[in-house]
Amino acid sequence: MTPDTVTELGRQALWVALIVTTPILLTALVVGLIIAIFQAATSINEQTLTFVPKLLVIGAVMVLAGPWLITTLMDYTRDLIRSIPSLIG
């Protein structure tokens, strides 16, 4: 296994991790921003106010995007396992 192969495998792993986490993180960011604007407008400074809406929205995103996320991870894992003979030899 050459250093180029290791670098390519690492790049692919980071890309898949980025693709899988982006929908969840962006949703949490948008919900947090909306709640922060609401808190600033109403002068409500409750730290726990952001937790429940973020939790509910992230749960909904996981339910809606879950099959796609799992398929993406399974495809990457399947490709990685299939490439083991060429990586070793």
Task: Supply the Cα-derived Rg of the chain in whole angstroms.
Answer: 19
Dist CA 43 CA 30 (whole Å)? 20
Give residues with Cβ within 8 angstroms of 61, minimum separation 6.
23, 24, 27
Segments in the chain below pLDDT 50: none
Sign of CA dihedral 39, 43, 48, 49: negative
Number of domains in the chain: 1
Tokens of 47: 């730290």
Which pLDDT belongs to residue 26?
A: 96
pTM of the model: 0.78
Determine how many CB atoms are found less than 10 A away from the CB of residue 73: 14
Which pLDDT belongs to residue 82?
A: 94
Q: Which residues span the domain enclosing 42?
A: 3-88
